[in-house]
Homo-oligomer: A and B are copies of this chain.
Amino acid sequence: MPSPAPGLPEIRNVILRGLPSKDLAMLRPHLHSVPLVMRQVLHAASAPIDHVYFMEEGLTSLTASAGEAAEVEVGLVGREGLVGTGVLLMTGATAVHRAFVQVPGSAYRMQSGTFRDALSQFESLRDGCLRYVHFMMVQTAQCAACNARHGLPERLARWLLFSMNRIESDELPMTQEFLSYMLGVRRAGVSVVANGLQSEGLIRQSRGRIILLDRAGLEAKACVCYRLVEDSRARIMEVPSEHKLGTVQYGRDCALSGIDNLRS
């Protein structure tokens, strides 16, 4: 990891890290670091988006409504991304989805108006954000295909791996109840499948926590969607311009911190 500029906290967000330092310096005064607390709603569905959030840590979930009290997840945002993409795409945009915090963390927040001004001024920012929109489309589309064709075990494995990659941890603070909600299935169904994974030694669960024990094993359980989306992320988001700050590739050959003392 490169050390931060003196006096300034290090930036972890992949989009911001991809900006030329000159541009970043000019944007900096408008980026306010805010904590993200559990269940916090960053924007509601069909409501105006008043801030965008460059994720620094934690995990945010985007959901679409499938009728009465049935929300299904259509995207996950970690430090590679931005919550509030609607602002990029349309003046006075109201949100397509609901965005809420799944795993607490922090983000750099910017007012939507300021963000729009910044977009027209900085090509680097525009490029980085549009690139991220591209990735989000891949993610959502693959989610659609996966929901149509793949069984619960494969989808659950995919979701666990993808989420853990987003927060760069082998431990996921998440109840089965919530998981079922995100996948659009029954809670009891998740219970059965998760137990299967546990008895195969791939994960370990305890009330509201899921711990990865065997990454390779879980990847073998997941459907191709996992690999497709992760590879897309690497291709789309890990651009040459980020080289100067170093690159992180998770999920392929990068050992995550702490994986060893969790094994067994």
Residues of A within 8 A of B (CB): 62-67, 70-72, 74-75, 85-86, 88-91, 93, 96-97, 127, 130-131, 133-134, 136-138, 140-150, 183-185, 223-225, 228, 232, 236
Contact = CB atoms under 8 A, between A and B. Distances in A.
A97 to B, nearest CB: 6
A227 to B, nearest CB: 10
Counting chain B CB atoms within 10 Å of each CB, which of A88, A93, A146, A148 scores highest?
A148
22 contacts: A64-B144, A66-B145, A66-B146, A66-B148, A66-B224, A67-B149, A67-B224, A70-B145, A71-B145, A72-B149, A74-B141, A89-B131, A89-B134, A90-B134, A96-B232, A97-B141, A137-B137, A140-B141, A140-B144, A141-B144, A147-B147, A149-B184
A133 B141 CA distance: 13
Given A72-B149, A183-B148, A93 B134 contact: yes
State the oligomeric state as a number of copies. Answer: 2
A148 B97 CA distance: 16
A91 B144 CA distance: 25
Contacts of A97: 141
A232 B85 CA distance: 16
Nearest to A94: B235
Contacts of A64: 141-142, 144-145
A213 B5 CA distance: 67
Given A127-B91, A134-B86, A137-B137, A66 B96 contact: no
A144 B224 contact: no
A142 to B, nearest CB: 6
Interface centre among A91, A93, A149, A232 (most CB of B within 10 A): A149
A72 B131 contact: no
Contact of A96 (B130, B137, B183, B184): B137
A14 to B, nearest CB: 15
Contact of A140 (B130, B134, B137): B137
B91 A223 contact: no
